[in-house]
A = this chain, B = another copy of it.
Amino acid sequence: MSMKRRVWDIVEVAKPGDVASRTFDIAILALIFLNVIAVIIGSIHEVEQRLGGFLSVFETVSVFVFTLEYLARMWACTMDDKYSNPFSGRLRLALSPMAIVDLLAILPFYLPFIGVDLRSLRVLRLLRIVRVAKVGRYYSSLTLIRKVFRARKEELILTSAMMGLLLVVSSSLLYYCENGAQPDTFSSIPATMWWAVATLTTVGYGDIYPVTLLGKLCASVIAILGIGMFALPTGIIGAGFVEAVQKTKSEPARCPHCGKLIE
């Protein structure tokens, strides 16, 4: 077995019995989790002051490892039938969602070296959290949930569209009701959308709410309609799960007379 094939086996999700590949998988997963924790605790001022140096070194090492993994994957991918062509195959891999996540996770580290000033682009550091999404590759049990979403895709899209419509209509309605009484809070329809989201999702922070009689009346109707925003997707997804679970179970029955499969 060539070294290229061995590298490809290792960077891919381990096959049963491949101890080296499995160890590599677990190590990468652990490094991802440690990176997420580093980003989270690094945002605390006191931790940054105390452990700032250590976290910086840890980040450098992590990015180095992630870069190596990315390059190894890019180099060895031609061993796979899907990416066998040296050029177009590698491009297809580079444009796959997971490879883009991998690139985005290491890119912010290199940008300053090519002249992009990260201090003014601090938000790019956020991309490092994207590394968590790499975990998805190692998790194969998303299948049932993904199947349910795919089967009920059309209804879920339609529900989302109805939510969007409800959002737009209720924002417009409340804007015309409340703009006169609270010109600063309900200053425009987009500003009122913040109220509509808080109400329809039933979060209700309380930073913005109607005070006029008409506004409260409309808001009441909208809040009650908002219950449908929970009931519809929940009902759709629930039915999807019932269906998916029953499908996996129903093995074809045999006719007790002729022994042939029924249905």
Contact = CB atoms under 8 A, between A and B. Distances in A.
Contacts of A226: 201, 203
A176 B242 contact: no
A202 B203 CA distance: 4
Which range contains the number of A residues in contact with the other chain? 35 or more
A27 to B, nearest CB: 20
Chain A at the B interface: SS class: helix
A155 B176 CA distance: 34
A240 B235 contact: yes
Contacts of A177: 123
Contacts of A122: 176
B43 A175 contact: yes
Contacts of A229: 227
20 contacts: A40-B171, A45-B188, A123-B176, A123-B177, A132-B169, A145-B159, A145-B232, A148-B235, A194-B216, A197-B220, A201-B223, A202-B203, A203-B223, A205-B209, A230-B230, A236-B241, A238-B238, A238-B242, A239-B244, A257-B257
Interface of A: 36, 39-41, 43-45, 122-123, 125-126, 129, 132-133, 135, 139, 141-142, 144-145, 148, 154-155, 158-159, 161, 163, 165, 168-169, 171-173, 175-177, 187-191, 193-194, 197-199, 201-207, 209, 216, 219-220, 223-224, 226-246, 253, 255-258, 260, 262-263
